[in-house]
């Protein structure tokens, strides 16, 4: 007699359809400038400014509206953005959360764009 495989009791840690979950898991390489237990930060593949880093919570949520349910994590994202700009630029920075498809969001795993220096001609 064969038994059916049991259902997993927890959701998978890595969403195979989410590119940033795969970067967090180390399955896709990234140029990391910061990592801690809650977030990672890495250089954007298509920089729009001399410093263009994405700060990404390790845990998947869709956008900054969902992230706001965890104010401490949201504050930590802002804090890390500030330290990345202090370390890799002159300290001042823009922080952009594209939220929703019509606002230009293309990766639906929340991330903050940290932009410093003169912006390239582009969307942001
Ligand atoms: P958004 O359009 O706000 O969703 O931003 C997604 C950003 O992720 C874009 O600026 C992309 O250039 C960037 N991006 C997508 N895939 C990668 C990757 N594998 N490594 C680094 N940046 C990426
Ligand atoms: Zn994800």
111 catalytic? Reply is yes
Ligand 1 atom nearest to CA at 29: 19
Looking at residue 122, what is its pLDDT?
A: 61
pLDDT value, residue 16: 86
* Contact predicate 61/67, CB 8 Å: yes
pLDDT at 15: 82
Residues within 5 Å of ion ligand 2 by Cβ? 15, 18, 20-21, 60, 109
pLDDT at 2: 44
The closest-lying atom of ligand 1 relative to the alpha carbon of residue 28 is 19
> What phi and psi, each to the nearest 5 degrees, are found at residue 34?
-160, 145
Ligand 1 near 106 CB (within 6 A): yes
Given 52, 88, 111, 113, which residue is catalytic? 111
Q: Which fold has domain 36-116?
A: HIT family, subunit A (3.30.428)
Is the beta carbon of 67 within 6 A of some atom in ligand 1?
Answer: no
Look up the pTM and report it.
0.89
Please check whether residue 112 is in contact with residue 81, taking contact to mean a CB–CB distance below 8 angstroms.
yes
Sign of the CA dihedral 36, 41, 59, 63? positive
Is any ligand 1 atom within 6 A of the Cβ of residue 99?
A: no
User: What are the residue boundaries of the structural domains of the chain, listed by start?
Assistant: 36-116
Q: Which amino acid residue places its CA nearest to atom 15 of ligand 1?
A: 45
- One pLDDT digit (tens) per residue for the chain, 124 residues: 444 454 444 544 578 899 999 999 999 999 999 999 999 999 999 999 999 999 999 999 999 999 999 999 999 999 999 999 999 999 999 999 999 999 999 999 999 999 999 766 665 6
Question: Residue 3's pLDDT is what?
Answer: 46
Residue 73 gets the label, from left (phi > 0), alpha (psi -120 to 50) or beta, of: alpha
């Amino acid at each position: 007699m064969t038994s059916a495989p049991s259902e997993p009791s927890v959701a998978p840690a890595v969403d195979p359809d989410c590119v940033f979950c795969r970067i967090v898991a180390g399955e896709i390489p990234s140029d990391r400038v910061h990592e801690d237990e809650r977030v990672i930060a890495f250089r954007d593949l298509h920089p729009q400014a001399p410093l263009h880093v994405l700060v990404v919570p390790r845990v998947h949520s869709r956008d900054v509206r969902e992230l706001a349910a965890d104010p401490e994590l949201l504050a930590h994202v802002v804090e890390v953005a500030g330290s990345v700009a202090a370390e890799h630029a002159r300290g001042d920075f823009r922080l952009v959360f594209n939220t929703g498809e019509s606002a230009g969001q293309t990766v639906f795993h929340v991330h903050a764009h940290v932009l410093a220096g003169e912006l390239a001609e582009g969307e942001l």
